[in-house]
Structures are given as structure tokens and as C-alpha cells.
Amino acid sequence: MTRWLTLSAASKLLGVHPATLRQWADAGKIPSYRTPGGHRRFRAEDIHRFLVQASHATTEDGTVSEDALLTTALVETRRELRQSPPSEQNWYSKFDEEGMANQRVLGRSLFEKAIRYLTLEGDRQVILEESRELGRAYAYSSLKYNISLLDTVRAFQFFRQQLFRTLVSDESGMTMDAEASLRFREDFDAFFDEVLFGMIEAYERQLLEQKVLIEQPSDMGPPEAMLTDGNEDMAGMASEAQMTDA
């Protein structure tokens, strides 16, 4: 019996945004069907077949393609996130639907840039600059929902570790000798450290802005002057009262 999936359910299974799955369907990468009402439906077996093909897609030289690595990483991360204990999902539960959609976009962008950085030859400075900007975007997304820096970093480390596991797994097809493996780890850390620095930078900027607001002088003068003026006024009122009683 055929099992049909909605656009939302199929995109969650793939670990991608519904808009991404819609683009894949329009491009013919994944078969989709329309209900009489015009809604998309996907067969579960087509989604499974796509995952299998994507995880084994190779380039002309026999290495796994960037798209295949990205798809595998997103799916595995989504699966690990669903299976993680509730205590580790605390940060994610603080987002509303709009916030979760934004997190999916950021997560996909993070993996795309990381894979591009690791597989690109030559000058990669531009990608490093983009990675720091991405870290700031992660921070501002968390700050909007009052998520602490600690929880944000914990979530970021989860995605960082998950991508590393995917890239060094046997399924990735990335065979490396000891020297290449060391260089790969150094490049991986260089990229993700830059994202982390951008994240911390944004949180520090927020703290500095709050500090300026707190220390901003008011029209009534510094607190010490307010206390002094208040004491003098009280003393004057007491003196007038004594004169009246006399």
C-alpha cells in the first residue's frame, strides 16, 4: 500500500525546508503528485530512494558530491536531533514556528558553507568572512528569543559534531591518509571556530549596548546628587515644621 506524505512531512523526513523540497520537486529531482485541491503529495518510497541515491552520488573522479554530503549531513542531523533527550532540545523548544524555520535555513547555510570551504581549493578567505557573519546571524536569532549564549553554543556544538561525524564516516567516501586527515581537521576547526567567534562577538555587542543604556545619565543627574538634593529638601521641610510649631 502506498504511503503518501504531505510537503511538510516529507521535508521533515529529509531534514530540509519545505521551500527546498518544493524546488527539488519542480526540478524533477523528486517525484510529486497533486491532489484535486492542488496540494503536493510525495510517496514515502520516492523519498527513501532519493536519500539512498543522494548518499551515494559521486562525481566523475569517484568522490562523493557536495550535494550528497549536504543531504546526508542534514538527514543524519535531523535524525539525531529527534532522538536526543528533551534536556538537549531545550534551546530548540524556545523558538516559535518562524524561529524554527529560520534555524533550518541557518543550519543548511552552515553545512553548505562548511562543505564548500572543506572541498574548495585555493583562497578560502571569503568563505571564512561569511562564516563569521553566519555566526552573528545565529546569535541574533537566539537573542530574539532570549536564549542564553551557553545554550546557543551548546546547540552549535551539536551541529558541529554531527557534521564532522558525517564527513569522516565510511559513507562519505572521503578517504584520507594521516597527514590529509590532520589537515582536514585543522580546516574544519578553522571554519567552525570562525562561526563561533562571530556568535560570541554578537553577544558581546549586545551586552555592551545594554551597559551603555544602563550607564546613560538621566535628566535628574547622578544618583548621588539625587540623594543629596532629596536629603536637603527633607531637612528644609523639617526646619520649616519646627519654626511653625514654635
4-47 pLDDT per residue, tens: 889 988 887 776 778 888 888 888 888 999 999 889 999 888 88
Q: Which amino acid does the sequence have at 224?
A: E
pLDDT in tens, 86-139: 666 677 788 998 998 888 888 888 888 898 888 877 778 889 899 999 999 999
Task: Quote the pTM value.
Answer: 0.62
What number is the average pLDDT over the span 141-160?
Answer: 91
Mean pLDDT, residues 215-242: 52
Q: Where are the domains of the chain?
A: 1-55, 66-236
Average pLDDT over residues 73-81: 74
Helices (runs of H) and strands (runs of E) counted in the chain: 10, 3
pLDDT higher than 50, residue 169: yes
Examine the pLDDT at 85 and tell me if it is beyond 90. Answer: no
The listed CATH number (2.40.10.10, 3.40.50.720, 1.20.140.10, 1.10.1660.10) that belongs to domain 1-55: 1.10.1660.10
User: Is 43 in a helix, a strand, or coil?
Assistant: strand
* Topology at the third CATH level for domain 66-236: Globin-like (1.10.490)
Question: What is the Cα–Cα distance from 99 to 96, expressed in whole angstroms?
Answer: 5
What type of residue is 44?
A
Q: In what order do the strands lie in the sheet with 33-34?
A: 4-6, 40-43, 33-34
CA contacts within 13 A on the Cβ side of 11: 18
Q: Classify the C-alpha dihedral 69-72-75-77 as positive or negative.
A: negative
